[in-house]
Structure 1
Amino acid sequence: MKQATLGLIAAVLLMVAFFIPTQQALVLSETRTNERVFYYIPVKQVKDFQVTFTHSIHLSDVNEFYRIVEDGRIQFVKMIYEDLAVGMPGYAEENQTFERINGKWVLTSEDTFTDSFTLYNSSIHKKLELRYDNKIYDLKQQVPTGHSYRIEVAKLSIADVWKGEKIDGRE
């Protein structure tokens, strides 16, 4: 009887541990779907990441820099791009700076935070990469194109990790 009780307690503790979120990750959740489809990159000590994409009209690269802050939100740090035209900021708003450095436009922000943002992974074969911890994650190759993805920082449980798909980066 005592062994059965201990076994039951151990089983309950293992089940609880299986569902407790402990692993912080950058999570890309597909939007506009009834199923929970998500991809993730485990977050380590490094808190900065970058999204680089080729602008579909200008055909030049846009680099967006972000930081994961203590409360799990995402801070927009800066954006660097070459062309001022359709879809690109042409001036600074409050608490931002806008300047031209080495032939590129740099928009920097001190206090822009969000819980998440959305990226569209178009089927046009242009660059869409996420850079984190000295690795490049080619989103065109690793997540389905033609879909939008909400990017957020979340804690995942072991059960979540089994349901999602880990994205592998290259050096």
Structure 2
Amino acid sequence: MKDVLRFRRTILLILLIALIISSLLFLPFKQALVFEYQNTGKILAYLPLKKQDTFQIKYTHSIHLTNVIESYSITKENEIKQYELMYEDFAIGMPANAAEGEVFEEKDGKYYIKNMKRIFPSFDLRVGKVRANHTIIYHKKEFPLSKTIEPGTWIRIHVKKVNLLEIMRGVNILES
């Protein structure tokens, strides 16, 4: 009888340990800006975020070869809101003016569209191969995407709570 009770306790303990390990591996707990391979859900890289954090994407425009900086914030609903755009040339692909409710400014030879309220659940980007040099700016530090994601790769960017397994599979951009 004691052997049966000991066996049941051992099995129960093993199941409890397995449940704890599974919970640690699979339960999402950390908010991150996630860079997925295409739309597969496979995380290539991530940027750990705090609630309602901000970040920027800087790149060199392919035609007029000047910097463009797009500024984003994270909403309470974990969506991405573009709130500002900075560029240096009105060439092809750049806006000539602000949309309704937005503010257009020219300062020190640069053009700004401010007060933008463009909200996205996600957006897609192809990491530049030649000269775009897509770079994430986070807390005034720059992280070129080409250091963690192969140039030419189509990625989907969105906010997601990630679990330990996803963290172990992806690359933390802050550590690259």
Q: TM-score if structure 1 supplies the norm length?
A: 0.88
State the partner residue of 1:9: 16
Q: How does 1:60-71 map to 2 (within 5 A)?
A: 60-71=66-77
Amino acid paired to 2:13: L
1:155 aligns with 2:148: no
1:78 aligns with 2:101: no
Runs of 4+ more than 4 Å apart: none
Specify whether residues 35 and 75 from structure 1 end up closer, same or farther in structure 2 by C-alpha distance, changes over 3 A only. Answer: closer
1:146 aligns with 2:146: no
**How far is the alpha carbon of 1:20 from its aligned partner?**
0.6
**How far is the alpha carbon of 1:135 from its aligned partner?**
2.5
Determine helix, strand or coil for the equivalent of 1:89. Answer: coil
Amino acid paired to 2:21: L
Q: How does 1:1-171 map to 2 (within 5 A)?
A: 1-31=8-38, 36-44=42-50, 47-168=53-174
Determine helix, strand or coil for the equivalent of 1:168. Answer: helix
Determine helix, strand or coil for the equivalent of 2:174. Answer: coil
Q: How far, CA to CA, are the matches of 2:116 and 2:129 in structure 1?
A: 33
Aligned residues of 2:128 and 2:134 also touching (Cα < 8 A) = no
Amino acid paired to 2:144: D
**How far is the alpha carbon of 1:47 from its aligned partner?**
0.5
Cα shift readout 1:137-157 (whole Å, capped 9, x = no counterpart)? 111232100122111111111
Aligned residues of 2:104 and 2:113 also touching (Cα < 8 A) = yes
Q: How far, CA to CA, are the matches of 1:11 and 1:169 in structure 2?
A: 30
**How far is the alpha carbon of 1:46 from its aligned partner?**
7.1
Q: How far, CA to CA, are the matches of 1:123 and 1:140 in structure 2?
A: 8
Q: How far, CA to CA, are the matches of 2:19 and 2:132 in structure 1?
A: 49
- Calculate percent identity across the aligned residue pairs: 30
**How far is the alpha carbon of 1:132 from its aligned partner?**
1.0
Amino acid paired to 1:42: P
Residue segments in structure 1 that go unaligned for 5+ positions in a row: none
Count of matched residue pairs: 169
Q: How far, CA to CA, are the matches of 1:164 and 1:116 in structure 2?
A: 18
Q: How far, CA to CA, are the matches of 1:35 and 1:75 in structure 2?
A: 21
Q: How far, CA to CA, are the matches of 2:41 and 2:31 in structure 1?
A: 22
